Structure 1
């Protein structure tokens, strides 16, 4: 296996800070002892805490303001772009480190532990802040400890903030979906985000998608299909979009249990039900078991074998057809195969080489075969085209959670989208105005319309249809 340092790879990121080579390595540096972190602090918790505990939190005293005051400040243009970037990042990726946030936003300032721009959304309850509390990171000075951002605990605050946003800004944050907060698995989310950022920085792809954008209903909607009721909440952890429009859905896991086996079986069932011309999707399971497990041959073999066993079982139950083999659309790769040491990358990462069941490729062949996911000939998608990939990339340029270097280029006109939904002929008041008799007298003019609109409520004006 040939390896190189991340700094030796040609990068699409122009500025040096917060490239993959400069960011902390969340896998090998032992930042997370378990899947979840207990270091989160919200503004509401900070306000309720005694004075001594406020000091322990590490939050600057003036960083937390009242919620109403914070929402009022967010309605101004002060730090508006930074706030949109942060809210869009946590909405798409769930949990991001401060370095990852700076990378997504393309802003050095966002890499600070407590950037001034995020004081208002933090105080409003739209963001929560936390320190990585495992490994050597917990011993570092507060200014150098790795910290994270996620969706805050005041979900209703977004409805108030939404009133001050344009339609384009709302789309940039949520992609047109609900603002919500789900249970956080910080290590899982940070590693998924890190993988997507590395692919976006070094690989020849169309774009990457956060968890919120890789839902099964959204993917099927492109083909004019609806997901079954039981699959409405089905989504992957992230997505990588090839130049021809094929989506590589990423499922990261650190352990294999019954819930994981059911998830893989469900994906296999979906892949069997929908061929690539309906659902341009390949599912890739990434083994992110902890570095201590990765350095133990027995533990590593166990994790790999359990994932492979889950895939074999799923493919056996849902094999697909001769032209749509499930085995060709469901693969796996260990994190250590692409990134064998801190800030090192193997050659297999260039084309995203992963392992797929060899079953079905030859009459008697069994075992596993390597497949380069970015090779359009090796993993073919007959219905794919450059236009399909560009369409997805164009749409994701609207999202603040898309890494900033992938947002360059033409983006859809959201104002034109709104106008396309309506026409003057579809609004009755514009074509055939009708005002009840009781609304054309002086009472309406003086009490409701106001004196300056008296001329617009006269019977003569109504009869001539001046608004048509």
Structure 2
């Protein structure tokens, strides 16, 4: 197995700030001692704190303003692209380091500890800021300590901010789903985000998806199916989309308990129930247990061994059929298999080589075989096609949580969707709509500092009356007599 430094791999994002070789290594640098971090501060906490504690927080004195004042500023165009980028990133990935945020957004300024662009969403309660408090990071000066962003504690604030967003901007942030806060497993979230960013940078994939986009109901809806009531909230931690449309659902874990075994058994049951032509999905468990866990535990008690046992048990209970074997859709890999040292990468990572259970019905059988997930011959998907992969990729380009280098290209016509909802789908609004840079490419936050005014496009149509006149009528999202504005 060959090992190279991340900087030695060919990368399509050499000009993007904080590529994988430039970011801190969240696994090998020991930034997280446990699954959760205790360093979070919200604007509401900061306002309630005594003056001496405000100084301890490290937040610049003028960074926190009143919530109403912050919401008012967010309704303007000041820092609008940067705010959309940050809100979309935490919505998709739950927790991101400042370096990961800068990489996703394509903006070096966003890699600062307290960028001016994020003062308003932080003060409004839509973002929370935290320092990584483990390892050497806790001893570093405040300006150099690694920090993170996540969804804030004022969930209702988004409903007010939503009123000032276009439909396209709302989709960019949430993907059309609810704005919520589920992030309290920071090491888990940061490592999942890091893995997805490295795959997006170095592997030949169509796109990567955050946790919010890899829900079972959404995946089944593409085949016209509905998830069972008990599975409505089921989702993976992240997704990798292959060129033929096959989705590799990531489940990262650092420990194995009863809850994890139940989760794997549930995934095996779902895979048995839905063949790939209904659910184009395989599940990959990634062992992210700490290096100290791996060296201190007995071989039979390591997370890797426990994950293997959980998969064996799940496959035994839900084996599938001859044409839909669960063992062929449920694999595992360890972080150290792909990344054996700080900023190091092994050759199996480039093709995403993982282990699948070869037979999988007998606890006494070892039966693990390597499979290259990106090799369509080793892992076939008969119903796959380039068109299927492009459909997912096209939709993902709308999301500001999608890494900036994966956004350029065609995007869905959100203007036509709105007109269709208003009963005017036959109107040819724009033959070739101009999509702003914040929606498509590395320029999502090209102009982070200062004011950036959006060019508004007002769409109107003329209804010919019996008398031959052409009164102008405009529609908004709900079909009322107002203008639809596509930004």
Query: Would you call these one fold, judging by a TM-score over 0.5?
Result: yes
Structure 1: stretches of 5+ with no match in the other structure:
427-460
8 Å contact kept, 2:16–2:103? no
Query: Aligned partners of 1:424, 1:373: CA distance in 2, in Å?
Result: 44
Matched, 1:108 2:108: yes
Deviations along 1:239-290, one digit per CA (max 9) or x if unpaired, are 0000000000000000000000000000000000000000000000000001
Query: How far 1:424 sits from its partner (Å)?
Result: 4.8
- Paired position in structure 2 for 1:138: 138
1:176-212 alpha-carbon deviations (Å, 9 max, x no partner) = 0000002510000000000000000000000000000
Separation of aligned partners in 1, 2:13 and 2:155:
33
Distance 1:265 1:55 in 2: 49
Higher helix fraction (1 or 2): 1
Q: Which residue of 1 aligns with 2:284?
A: 284
Q: Cα deviations across residues 319-374 of structure 1 (Å, max 9, x unaligned)?
A: 0000000000000000000000000000000110000000179xx98510000001
CA distance in 1, matches of 2:41, 2:30: 21
1:425 to 1:80, Cα distance in 2 relative to 1, 3 A: closer
CA contact 1:294–1:300 (8 Å) conserved in 2 = no
Once residues 156 and 303 of structure 1 are traced to their aligned partners in structure 2, the CA distance between those partners, rounded to angstroms, is: 39
Counterpart residue number, 2:244: 244
Alpha-carbon distance in 2 for matches of 1:360, 1:36 = 34
In 1, Cα distance between the equivalents of 2:204 and 2:183?
A: 33
Does 2:164 match 1:164? yes
The aligned residue for residue 457 of structure 2 is none
Q: Does 1:268 align with 2:268?
A: yes
- Which digits, 9 at most, give the CA deviation of each residue in 1:64-118, with x for residues without a partner? 0000000000000000000000000000000000000000000000000000000
How far does residue 304 in structure 1 lie from its aligned partner after superposition?
1.2
Q: Note the C-alpha offset of 1:154.
A: 0.1
- For 1:253 and 1:422, the matched residues in 2 are separated by 45
What RMSD over aligned residues (CA atoms) do the two structures have, in Å?
Answer: 2.1
Classify 1:410/1:73 alpha carbon distance in 2 versus 1 (closer, same or farther; 3 Å). Answer: same
Tell me the secondary structure at the aligned position of residue 205 of structure 2: coil
**2:404 corresponds to:** 404
| CA apart distance, 1:15 | 1.4
1:320 aligns with 2:320: yes
Note if contact 2:64-2:122 (Cα within 8 Å) is conserved in structure 1.
yes
1:29-56 per-position Cα deviation (integer Å, ceiling 9, x unaligned): 0000100000000000000000000000
> Equivalents in 2 of 1:183, 1:114: separation in Å?
20
Distance 2:384 2:305 in 1: 33
1:278, 1:10 → 2: CA distance?
36
Contact 1:172 1:400 in 2 (8 A): yes
Distance, in Å, in 2 between the alignment partners of 1:187 and 1:214 is 19
Worse-matched range after superposition: 43-52 or 6-15: 6-15
Q: Which residue of 1 aligns with 2:347?
A: 347
Task: Deviation per CA, 1:217-244: give whole Å up to 9, x if none.
Answer: 0000000000000000000000000000
Tell me how far apart the structure 2 counterparts of residues 161 and 228 of structure 1 sit (CA, whole Å): 33
| TM-score after normalising by structure 1 | 0.89
State whether residues 325 and 360 of structure 1, in contact with CA within 8 Å, keep that contact through their aligned partners in structure 2. Answer: no
- Alpha-carbon offset, residue 293 of structure 1: 1.9
Decide whether aligned partners of structure 1 residues 332 and 360 sit closer, same or farther in structure 2, where only a CA change above 3 A counts. Answer: closer
Task: Name the residue aligned to 1:80.
Answer: 80
Decide whether the 8 Å contact of 1:311 with 1:330 is kept in 2.
yes
Change (3 A) 1:175 1:425: closer
SS of aligned partner of 2:369? strand
Q: 1:405 to 1:97 in 2, by over 3 A?
A: same
Q: Are 1:397 and 1:406, in contact at CA under 8 Å, matched by a contact in 2?
A: yes
Q: Equivalent residues in 2 for 1:24-103 (5 A)?
A: 24-103=24-103
Residue 151, structure 1, aligned to residue 147, structure 2: no
Quote the residue 1:332 is aligned against.
Answer: 332
Q: Secondary structure at the match of 1:61?
A: coil
**Residue of structure 1 in register with 2:356 after alignment:** 356
CA distance in 2, matches of 1:301, 1:385: 42
In the other structure, the counterpart of 1:255 is 255
Could you tell me how far 1:296 is from its partner in structure 2?
4.3
How do 1:173-192 residues align onto structure 2 when only pairs under 5 Å count?
A: 173-192=173-192
SS, match of residue 302 in structure 2 = helix
CA distance in 2, matches of 1:313, 1:425: 51
Using the TM superposition, give the Cα deviation of residue 410 of structure 1 relative to its aligned residue in structure 2, in angstroms.
Answer: 0.8
SS in 1 for 2:282: strand
- When normalised by structure 2's length, the TM-score is 0.86
SS at match of 1:264: helix
Q: Is the 8 A contact 1:293 1:300 kept in 2?
A: no
Unmatched tracts of structure 2, length 5 or more: 427-465, 474-487
In 2, the alpha carbon distance for the partners of 1:389 and 1:259 equals: 33
- When Rg is computed on C-alpha atoms for both structures, the one with the higher figure is 1
